[in-house]
Amino acid sequence: MTAAAPQKLSKNAVFLVIVASLGYFVDIYDLLVFSIVRLKSLKEIGITDPVMVTKHGQDILNLQMAGLLFGGILWGVIGDKLGRIKVLFGSILLYSIANFANGFVNDVNTYAIIRFIAGLGLAGELGAGITLVSETLSKEKRGYGTMMVAVIGLLGAAAAFGVAKFGWRNAYFVGGGLGILLLFLRIGTFESGMFKNVEQSKVSKGNFFMLFTSFSRFKKYLFCILIGAPLWYVVGVLVSFSDQFGVALGSPALLNPAEGVFYTYIGISVGDIFAGLLAQITKSRKLTMAVFLVFSAACVAYYLNAKGLTVQHFFLVCFVMGCSVGYWATFVTIASEQFGTNIRSTVTTTVPNFVRGALIPIVAAFNTFKAHYGVLTSGYIMMGILTLISLISLSQLKETFGKDLNYVEEEAGIS
């Protein structure tokens, strides 16, 4: 008997991957654009006191993250109850309207409310895209598909830095325009066949509370969230507060967190390519995650020991650290593959947004350690704790590479 010919991706599947990738591109663009234009935009609407600029900036960012958290649950449930395609259309429409409105704000309260709405809209992009790609591509090819979603999506960071140079209001207008273009592009997308198989069935769909009615299912869900925590610690603390770390390291010049984030995200894009390829070669997402978690811990240790860190060296370190945490696509794919079709969208949409939201307690814990041990020692402590938690959580999850995803979760467990 001759071996079967390798399965080729259909044009529809390729188109779906492109659409999902561009959705994540817009997601990352918007996540970063506020951080980039924060100081200038707040000053231009009348906030000139440096203390108040910092306070309002943190408040607005926290509201945006709150929007992502609530939106993750909302769009995840809608994706499982009404379909993945409806999420792709609804989320990008809400995001686009919010970004156009952001370009017209003239006071802090309106700014904050609209950022919350933008976060609410964006929350559905990555989860719906990864779910559709995972359910549409073959089990042998889906790793490549989700890898491309992350790689193209993370380049939105470069776009955000480039567009922001033309004015903060224009940056928001461009974000809204990109969303509308993507909305029209999605007219040609199609629904997941796996979702159609369960759409008319009586099985519970999009029931967020199912994740908590079974202890084994809850543990699995929690572990999926915890394995991604170090990534956002690196970006949200070590790089975003790099001006503080630079002072502690004796850097000859002030380190710019915004530029550091830019190089970190470029590194994450590169890392996602290698993580995706390593998973395909080893046929193990767990091994890939473990390798990258250990690598990221080593990179952070190097960063925290880089005495006299220059600006150019800092950019290089940020890029390498970004590469080391470039497991975002692998991490989200693992979460998507752990659960049945009837709650897969809920899981895949909430998990990455809960990881993003976890930055709030991570920052609080870091600040608590910093008050007692200083910036550098606290950096080591937090990375050590998060890496250990992630590795333990990873060890408790089953390998999902090549897993058949055409199954559902029953109320009492997995069918």
How much is the average pLDDT of 314-331? 94
Instruction: Output the DSSP codes for 41-53.
Output: HHHHTT---HHHH
246 lies in the same domain as 181: no
Kindly report the length of the chain: 415
281 lies in the same domain as 371: yes
Percent of the chain with pLDDT over 90: 39
Task: Please tell me the distance from the alpha carbon of residue 202 to that of residue 83, in angstroms, as a whole number.
Answer: 15
Count how many domains the chain has: 2
How much is the average pLDDT of 203-228? 89
Task: Please tell me the distance from the alpha carbon of residue 81 to that of residue 342, in angstroms, as a whole number.
Answer: 8
Q: pLDDT tens digits for 85-138?
A: 888 888 889 999 999 999 999 999 999 999 999 989 888 887 778 888 887 887
**Which of 192, 226, 254 is the last residue in one of the domains?**
192
289 lies in the same domain as 342: yes
147 lies in the same domain as 219: no
pLDDT of residue 110: 94
**Which of 144, 166, 192 is the last residue in one of the domains?**
192
How much is the average pLDDT of 66-70? 87
Is residue 63 in some structural domain? yes
Would you say the C-alpha torsion 393, 395, 399, 405 has a positive or negative sign? negative
Q: Report the CATH number that the domain containing residue 300 is assigned in CATH.
A: 1.20.1250.20
Of 16-20, 233-237, 300-304, the least confident: 16-20
Is residue 201 in some structural domain? no
Three-state DSSP state, 308: coil
Q: pLDDT tens digits for 33-48?
A: 887 888 888 888 888 7
DSSP label at residue 250: T
Three-state DSSP state, 228: coil
The number of C-alpha atoms within 13 Å of 97 and in the hemisphere containing its C-beta is: 10
Judge whether residue 4 has pLDDT over 50.
no
Instruction: Output the DSSP codes for 82-127.
Output: T-HHHHHHHHHHHHHHHHHHHTT--SHHHHHHHHHHHHHHHTTHHH
**Angle 161-162-168 from CA coordinates, rounded to 5°:** 70
Is residue 3 in some structural domain? no
**Tokens read off for 369:** 């350690």
Written as one letter, the residue type at 168 is W
Three-state DSSP state, 278: helix
User: What's the chain's average pLDDT?
Assistant: 86
Helix (H), strand (E) at residue 193? helix 193-199
250 lies in the same domain as 391: yes
Contact 255, 311 (CB under 8 A): yes
Give Cβ neighbours of residue 252 (< 8 Å, ≥ 6 apart): 308, 310
Is residue 82 in some structural domain? yes
pLDDT of residue 59: 82
How much is the average pLDDT of 222-245? 91
DSSP label at residue 409: E
188 lies in the same domain as 165: yes
How much is the average pLDDT of 132-146? 79
Three-state DSSP state, 151: helix
Is residue 2 in some structural domain? no
- pLDDT band, residue 192 (cuts 50/70/90): low
- Assign residue 250 a region (left: φ > 0; alpha: ψ between -120 and 50; beta: otherwise): left
| Residue that wins the pLDDT comparison between 263 and 2 | 263
Range of the domain at 390: 207-415
Task: Please tell me the distance from the alpha carbon of residue 341 to that of residue 199, in angstroms, as a whole number.
Answer: 10
**Tokens read off for 252:** 């000859």
